[in-house]
Amino acid sequence: MSGDLLGWWGVPLAVLAGAIRVSTPFLFVSLGECITEKSGRINLGLEGTLVMGAMSGYAVSYLSGSPWLGVLAAGCAGAVFGILHALICSLPRVNDIAVGIALMLFGIGLAFFLGKPFIQPQAPNLPSIPFGWWSENAQVRDALRVNALFIIGVILAPFLLWAFRNTRWGLILRTVGDSADAALALGYAINRVRMFATASGGFLAGVGGSFLSLSYPGSWSEGLSSGQGITAVALVIFARWNPMLCFWASLLFGGAAALGPALQSVGITQGYYLFNAAPYMLTLLIMILTCSRDRTLAGAPGELGVTR
């Protein structure tokens, strides 16, 4: 069987491959934001963290020769941004959303500034795992070449769901996020828990950023991110603060984003830009269908709000 013979079957295959590829940064950023929001804070700065992670991951991978060191560096850069956000937000009368926007702009600007020398050189990329080895077909083999970070994300999502329910840290995190009164009465240091949560969230967002620059085709440029960080924050709300739903939402979003290129590959070029807008239209549509005038969002952490 040759690639051409696959014909229309190439479309769902390309969508699947695209879903896995595109969803990886969404998955990491949304899992990170899920942890942060479970503690009762919103970190809108994750777009900046993502770009910062992409830059620092690429730089460290290039300088050290190890892409995994790059991923670690990206995570640490993200954690630093998270700690910065948490520190500023723990001051009295500081609004977490405003701080997040400021940090988003700061992160993007800083990454562009520090990343200038790394636009040209080629850094080693992350490996991917060839799940398509059994097939003779090049298209199938390509589509089933799954990057290693996605696998980690697939394991991380159910682990987080389990940890929220079955570990001390999970219970404390949910307490702080759902009722500050209860946390105070139990004697937990609210700001410290939120600091930990925001730092972990930043770490994961940084790792998500390193995927952008270290996975195939693997390069660092200023146009690398197209708002994945911000979109992932919206995905968390869409996923009702449930890590497994974050995973499915990321896949859905990635699949929708891959629709345009997939159709183009079988020769349908009409409405290409319209298909590119599919993920956003899909999100909007699902949001409209699932919201209700006389019901508050179920599952929202009680301390989450815009009026502080």
Partner 1 sequence: MVMFVPDPAAPPATGAVSLEALGMGKQFGALKALDDVTLKVEAGSFHALLGENGAGKSTLVKCIMGYYTPDQGQVMVGNHEQPISSPRMAHNLGLGMVYQHFTLVPDMTVAENLVLARTDLPAVIDWKAEHAGLEAFFATMPFRVPLDRKVSALAAGEKQKTEILKQLYLKRRFLILDEPTSVLTPAEADEVLGLLRDMTKAGQLTVLTITHKFREVFAFADNVTVLRRGKFAGSGKVADLTADDMAKMMMGEQKLPDPAPRTGVPGEATRLAIQTLNVSDDAGNPAVKGISLQVRAGEILGIAGVSGNGQRELVEAIAGQRDIKDGAISLHGQSFDGSRKAMKQHKLSCLPEEPLRNACVAKMSVAENLAFRRFDEEPFAAGGWWLKPGAFKEAARQIIARYRVKTPGPEAAIGQLSGGNVQRAVLGREIGGEVNVLVAANPCFGLDFAAVADIHGQIMAARNRGAAVLLVSEDLDELFELSDRIAVMFSGRIVYEDAIGNADLTVIGRHMAGH
* Binding region for partner 1 (CB under 8 A) out of 101-109, 178-186, 220-228, 267-275: 178-186
Taking the CA atoms of 266, 10, 146 and 272 in sequence, report the sign of the dihedral they define: positive
Number of amino acids touching partner 1 (CB under 8 A)? 26
State in angstroms the smallest separation of the CB of 149 from partner 1: 26
Neighbouring residues of 274: CB distance < 8 A, sequence distance ≥ 6: none
Give residue 213's region: left, alpha or beta (phi > 0; psi -120 to 50). alpha
Residues 180, 40 contacting (CB under 8 angstroms): yes
Map residues 126-165 to x or -, x wherever contact with partner 1 holds by CB under 8 A: ---------------------------------------x
Max CA distance (Å), the chain: 67
Instruction: Report whether the peptide linkage leading into residue 217 is cis, meaning its omega lies within 30 degrees of zero.
Output: yes
State in angstroms the smallest separation of the CB of 193 from partner 1: 13
| Interactions with partner 1, residue window 278-307 (CB under 8 A) | 292-296, 298-299, 301-302
State in angstroms the smallest separation of the CB of 165 from partner 1: 8
Residue 231 is a binding residue for partner 1 (CB under 8 A): no
Neighbouring residues of 293: CB distance < 8 A, sequence distance ≥ 6: none
CA angle 25, 299, 81 (to 5 degrees): 40
**Interacting residues toward partner 1 by CB under 8 A:** 165-169, 171-172, 174-175, 178-179, 181-182, 184-187, 292-296, 298-299, 301-302
